[in-house]
Amino acid sequence: MTPADGSRGGVPTLEITGAVKRYANGHLAVKGVDLHADEGEFVVFVGPSGCGKSTLLRMIAGLESVTEGEVRLKGRVVNDVEPADRDIAMVFQNYALYPHMSVYDNLAYGLRNRKIPKPEIDRRVREAAEMLQIGEYLARKPGALSGGQRQRVAMGRCIVRDPAIFLFDEPLSNLDAKLRTQMRLEIRRLQRRLGVAAVYVTHDQVEAMTLADRIVVLNGGRVEQIGAPVEVYNAPASTFVASFIGAPAMNLFPAEAEGGAIRVDGGSAPAPARARGAVTAGLRPEKARLVPAGGGLPFTVETVEELGATRLVHGHVGAASFVVSLEAGVSPPGETCAVTADPADVHLFDRGSGARL
Amino acid sequence: MKKVQFSGIAPPLLLIAPQMAIVVIFFLWPAAEAVRTSFFIQDPFFGRAVFVGFDNYVNAVTRSDYLRSAAFTGVFVTAICAISLGFGLLFAVCADEVLRGEGPYKTLLMWVYAIAPPVAGLIGVMLFDQHIGPLVDFFAFFGWELQTGVDYWDTAFAMTVVAAWKQIPYNFIFFLSGLQGIPRSLREAAAIDCRSPARRFWTVVFPLLAPTSFFLLVINITYAFFETFGVIDVMLKGEPGNNPVSLVYKVYLDGFRGQDLGGSSAQSVILMVGVMLLTVVQFRFIERRVHYA
């Protein structure tokens, strides 16, 4: 397990300081980002579309110039280094395989351009192909492969390069749900096995949670929070992170904090004693408990969704819609009831800025 | 597309009849007539036609002026294809670098193609004009006295340049749209795999352009063989004299100037067979190497 700040000593594989990306049309896509990835670490950039996550990844790859700040790979500033000289490998969203080359040539192309001896190329290609179980397709063209197979070839192209860092740009978004889950596991297993650092861009918080050693939540070109998945889940730094990470999303509702409790519509529930006054309170559906009326924040059951393993009870707390996740077979204590929770599970955010209190 | 099922054979036949009539009257019938005429010596003034078998063919291919014209045509066609395809590709690559997604510029560049071919040919003629042609002055600066229409090689040079020049915008447009059809991520993947932009071009971009290139090669060869007639005619001003003529122009000269209908027909049949063979060769040997994504 990596410590909170992710440091393991030594030179980080990737280090980004004060990175800014301004396009020619004046659009500011990345507004000053600092982060780093250590050796063998899996870092996931997650955020909604337009949050700058792909731009940031492309800045690391050298496919976008860096307007301000520095990108370092293994201690070397690479701002002005050609992509081919950066010691990186990238998997693109649409795989970007060379359609006129066989799978073998797709894997070997980058190595041939680096003047690596033929037997060595052959050894690496066959090794990667075996690892990815694409050995029998080596003679085929990408057009004759399925989506999952193409995905493997794209990863093979990265593996043979033996780079300092893997870059993934939403690599699973073109696959169907079942294959996505399977490939997600495979990517993680492969990355662990190779021990190569990786930066992975996704808008899917499940992918972020499952893959990452460290999650970087981006919003509007800025970092909202960096931390291990559990930290981000347990202590979201802002209402944005709180609503983005975790499914179903955290309930956020306006409340009055009065030191050790929050109050909504005459009802109250225990809460951390950190704040007083008008706040935005947050409570995860799976941490909320339904109790008979009067025992907490007033809650009226509107609909119940049966998911098999759990039940989602939809209603309102105050004016905000609210979801409670119950275990299978458990029913709400009544049509009108109340919501309560352990004080440690209640999150408090500044009503104005959305920052964690 | 809406599909319509006709009840009888008559309505569809009736519908394609105009097209078929045009094909028969303007293509098949003259072609058949050319083949027939090539076996006769015909009195141009409505006299008798004498059957001479393959004499016209033998006569055509053994005459030194025919062989000379054939040799010129070979060089002429090769040079036009090389120049117009080469420059078309070069310009397209240059434009593509700056044009990604810039719609109005693309439209502007395509205007060149909208210039009518005869006008373009005439501009070329003026550029090489003995008295007012700036290109003549340009080459004179390097000590080359260009005498278009007088000197065999100078005329050949001017013809080739003008004919190739006319075809460049056409090739440019196709190459440009071919280049813009290559996904950006593919070029980026190549940028990560290969440092040298030139090598990237020849190993990734150019092979992906192969379908476009092959199509253009066929079109350009056809153009150089047949459609350059107008350029040659304009440049020679109807006075072939000692100047180079392509095989197509020679068919016209021998048939309409020389009144040798049989010999001219034999030449055109040879040309027709030659171009057909060339097309077969192209499709068999080049197309096989073309990758259609």
DSSP letter for each residue of A286-313: TT-EEEETTSSEEEEEEEEEE-SSEEEE
Looking at residue A278, the DSSP 8-state letter turns out to be E
| Overall average pLDDT of the B127-146 stretch | 84
Query: How many structural domains does chain A have?
Result: 2
Identity of the residue in B185, B196, B210 whose CB atom sits nearest the CB atom of A94: B185
In A238-264, which positions are buried (b, 16+ CB within 10 angstroms) versus exposed (e)?
Answer: bbbbbebbbebebbbbebebeeebbeb
What is the tens place of the pLDDT at every residue in B236-258? 776 767 788 888 888 888 888 88
Q: Which residue of A has its CA nearest to B186?
A: A96
Identity of the residue in B191, B204, B210 whose CB atom sits nearest the CB atom of A98: B204
Check CB contact under 8 Å for B196 and A113.
Answer: yes
In angstroms, the CA A228 to CA A3 distance is 8
Q: Give yes or no: residues A66 and A183 share one domain.
A: yes
For tokens 């998997």, what's the residue? Answer: A91
Strand A336-340 with A297-306, pairing = antiparallel
- pTM for the structure as a whole: 0.81
Tell whether the model's pLDDT for residue A6 goes beyond 50: no
Residue A296 lies inside a defined structural domain of this protein: yes
Residue A356 lies inside a defined structural domain of this protein: no
- Please tell me the predicted confidence (pLDDT) of residue A3: 43
Check CB contact under 8 Å for B194 and A84.
Answer: yes
Residue A229 lies inside a defined structural domain of this protein: yes
Q: What is the CATH number of the domain that holds A127?
A: 3.40.50.300
Residue A5 lies inside a defined structural domain of this protein: no
Last residue of a domain, one of A183, A212, A240: A240
What is the tens place of the pLDDT at every residue in B255-281? 888 888 888 889 999 988 888 888 888
Residue A65 lies inside a defined structural domain of this protein: yes
Question: What ipTM was estimated for this complex?
Answer: 0.84
- Long-range (24+ apart) CB contacts under 8 A made by A112-121 are A113/A84, A113/B193, A113/B194, A113/B195, A113/B196, A113/B199, A121/A160
Average pLDDT value over all residues in chain A: 90
Positive/negative CA dihedral, A220, A223, A229, A231: negative
CB A45 within 8 A of CB A56: yes
What is the tens place of the pLDDT at every residue in B21-66? 999 999 899 889 889 888 888 776 766 778 888 888 888 888 888 8
What is the tens place of the pLDDT at every residue in B197-212? 999 999 999 999 988 8
Residue A245 lies inside a defined structural domain of this protein: no
Identity of the residue in A84, A88, A92 whose CB atom sits nearest the CB atom of B185: A92
Does A25 contact B at CB distance below 8 Å? Answer: no
Check CB contact under 8 Å for A113 and B293.
Answer: no
Report the first-to-last Cα separation within chain B, whole angstroms. Answer: 25
Check CB contact under 8 Å for A96 and B185.
Answer: yes
- Please tell me the predicted confidence (pLDDT) of residue A308: 87
Provide the angle, in degrees to the nearest 10, between the axes of the packed helices A103-113 and A118-131.
Answer: 140
Which DSSP helix (H) or strand (E) runs through A14?
A: strand A14-22
Nearest Cα residue to A169 out of A146, A139, A202, A144: A202
Provide the angle, in degrees to the nearest 10, between the axes of the packed helices B55-62 and B261-281.
Answer: 70
Q: State which residues form the domain around A209.
A: 14-240
Check CB contact under 8 Å for A96 and B196.
Answer: no
Q: Write the CB contacts of A66 (distance below 8 Å, at least 6 apart in sequence).
A: A19, A20, A21, A59, A79
- The CA distances from residue B167 to B105, B173, B206, B221, in Å, are 20, 10, 20, 11
Check CB contact under 8 Å for A83 and B191.
Answer: yes
Q: What is the CATH number of the domain that holds A270?
A: 2.40.50.140
User: Is residue B105 very low, low, confident or very high in pLDDT (cuts 50, 70, 90)?
Assistant: low
Tell whether the model's pLDDT for residue A154 goes beyond 80: yes
Nearest Cα residue to A305 out of A252, A346, A265, A248: A248
| CB-count exposure of residue A38 (10 Å: 0-12, 13-18, 19+) | buried
**Cis before A99 (ω within 30):** no
Identity of the residue in A109, A141, A143 whose CB atom sits nearest the CB atom of B193: A109
- The amino acid at A160: V
More confident residue, B293 or B24: B24
In angstroms, the CA B163 to CA A144 distance is 42
Tell whether the model's pLDDT for residue B1 goes beyond 60: no
Q: B92 phi and psi, to 5 degrees?
A: -65, -40
CB A197 within 8 A of CB A43: yes
CB B178 within 8 A of CB B212: yes
Query: Is B68 strand, coil or helix?
Result: helix
Tell whether the model's pLDDT for residue B156 goes beyond 80: yes
How close is the nearest chain A Cα to the Cα of B196, in Å?
9
| Overall average pLDDT of the A98-104 stretch | 93
In B91-124, which positions are buried (b, 16+ CB within 10 angstroms) versus exposed (e)?
Answer: bbbebbeebeeeeeebeebeeeeeeeeeebbeeb
Scanning A93-122 for CB atoms below 8 A from B yields: 93-94, 96-100, 109-110, 113
Q: Give yes or no: residues A255 and A227 share one domain.
A: no
Check CB contact under 8 Å for B193 and A100.
Answer: no
Domain B55-289 belongs in CATH node 1.10.3720.10: yes
Q: Chains A, B: CB contacts under 8 A, how many? A: 62
User: Is residue A2 very low, low, confident or very high in pLDDT (cuts 50, 70, 90)?
Assistant: very low
Q: Give yes or no: residues A69 and A203 share one domain.
A: yes
Q: Tokens for A212?
A: 């990452």
Check CB contact under 8 Å for A110 and B192.
Answer: yes
| Overall average pLDDT of the A25-49 stretch | 92
| Overall average pLDDT of the B71-88 stretch | 93
